[in-house]
Amino acid sequence: MTRFRVLPAAMAAALLPLTLAACGDTPAPAEEAHGHGGGGIIVTDHTDTTELFVEFRPLVTGVRRRFDAHLTWLDSYEPVTEGTLTAELSWPDGSVDRAPAEPSDVEGIFRPLLTASKSGNARLRLVLSTPRGVSAHDLGEVTVHATSDEGAKAVPPHTEIADAIAFSKEVQWRIPFMTQEAVMTELAETVPVMIDVQMQPQAEAIVSAPVDGIVRAARIYPSGSNVSRGQTLASISSTLGGGEDVATLDLAISEASIARDAAAREVARMNQLVEGEAVPARRLDEARTGQRLAEAQLRSARQRRSSVAGGGAGVPVVAPISGEVIESTLVQGQGVTGGQQLMRLGNPAALWLVARVPESLASQVGNPSGIDLSLPDQIISLGRGDVSLVQRGAAIDAQTRTLPVIFAWNSRAVRPGQRLQGQLRTGNATERLTIPASAILNEGGQDVVYVQIAGETFQRRPVTVLSRSGDLVAIEGQLEAGERVVTRGAAAVRAAAATPGAFGHGHAH
């Protein structure tokens, strides 16, 4: 089990101010409201799931000692309000002294009363059992004194902590608050980039006018409409070239109509002659062929005239792919020329992220492993499982003097055409001390963090940010691995430093 202890019992007693009013085992009314009053030793300990902040007096054989234990869920930083907390003393001979306690009348605080059966060294644990599971806080070896006088002498002296900020548990539990451990991490090295968001080439298509003509459509599809491949989007009523005008087309219809009527009369005459055996049947077939040809010429003439008037089926405009209408210039009755762009179709979720690495940093790019997008309200961190590398950058772009690195990504979190700032992970990594980026506050140009040195005691520490990768930053400065920094609520801790009386006394007084 991973465990982080801010201060072992002996160090906590030596560092934190411990001259509390309660020297016995029964707290005064004012202390009862806060839950403090155990006196003597203060310890903060973390398991994977809970934080324990506990106060108790040095243990004495046969004397009942109360543990004022503040318990917090680490995933939400809310107080623990259910379950049983058991104080355990495990002796070298295998025997165990136990004292269970239910939640007290103060939310988040348990007060087990433990009586040691013998003196000497024993291992002290506080074990929380809840429906969510068991969380065991091992506080290490403690000394149980033989007499009350020995126990009183073991109470550590009062010690002030320089620049300590008191911030009580009761306040931490009432506001958005969180701490996390500073750890050594193999952090990906990054370079700053500008990112152009584009649609993937295969996910985009231009719809052009197939011929010169007039736009005719039962429905005009606006941007955002979904269309399917092969769907007819509009039609073009073709205009005619060759200098033909309306009068010429009307004359053509009249001529075709006269020719059709003449052909019909010829068919009727040939039919009578064939029936009278005056001419061979071949002459009737020829007359009928002439009639069909005349009818076809009439239909053609009428269609040509109808096209100029805006009627007829026209030439269809068909969607080449399935997707959304990104842009459309279609207007009912609009005159267009062949090849003119009418619409742009695409899938806005099929994206290319084109990261443009400055020419001076191009040599740092190896095998890119991911990219981080900086949006106004969040950082989107994309690794190998989120994006696929399309192009790692083969040459410097002569116009932009940048090295383009392209990732394919399926998402609607950003839009085609958008330009973002971000960080490209170069594929190299270095072990560095890392903390969440949310822990960093900039105060007058200096990056600082607020470090939890005990459950209710914090310190301001200046740091230098070396690099960023996703939600993590690599830092150097007055911070060590294993220490916990405030990742949510740091501004409130800063305010507590400025106005300590407004946030509770804590234990830094």
Which pLDDT tens digit goes with each residue over 90-134? 999 999 999 999 999 999 999 999 999 999 999 999 999 999 999
Quick one: tokens of 405? 């690195």
- Closest CA relative to residue 46, chosen from 181, 184, 185, 182: 181
Same-domain status, 125 and 265: no
d(CA 69, CA 38): 9
CA distance 267 to 271: 6
**The residue type at 267:** V
Question: Is 168 part of a structural domain of the chain?
Answer: no
Q: Are residues 115 and 253 in the same domain?
A: no
Whether 129 and 260 map to the same domain: the answer is no
Query: 74 lies in a domain?
Result: yes
pLDDT in tens, 5-64: 334 333 343 333 333 333 334 333 333 334 454 458 999 999 999 999 999 999 999 999
The reply to whether 216 and 248 lie within a common domain is: yes
Do 60 and 150 belong together in one domain?
yes
Into how many domains does the chain fold? Answer: 3
Rounded to an integer, what distance in angstroms lies between the CA atom of residue 208 and that of residue 217?
15
239-243, 336-340, 458-462: which has the minimum mean pLDDT? 239-243
CATH assignment of the domain containing 481: 2.40.30.170
pTM of the model: 0.62
Q: Per DSSP, which regions of 292-393 are E strands?
A: 315-318, 323-328, 335-336, 341-346, 350-358, 370-375, 378-382, 388-391
Instruction: Assess if residue 509 is contained within a domain.
Output: no
Same domain (yes/no): 376, 312: no
Q: Which residues is 364 bridged to in the sheet? A: none
Query: Is 148 inside a domain boundary?
Result: yes
Burial pattern 294-321, b for ≥16 Cβ within 10 A else e, equals: bbebbeebbebbebbeeebebbebebeb
DSSP string, 109-127: EE--EEEBSS-EEEEEEEE
In a domain, 508, yes or no: no
Range of the domain at 323: 206-336
pLDDT at 168: 93
The residue type of 475 is I
Shared domain check, 133 and 12: yes
Residue 206: its H or E element: strand 204-208
Give the per-residue pLDDT at 52: 97
Of 205, 212, 222, nearest to 314 (Cα)? 212
Give dist(CA 307, CA 280) in Å, integer.
42
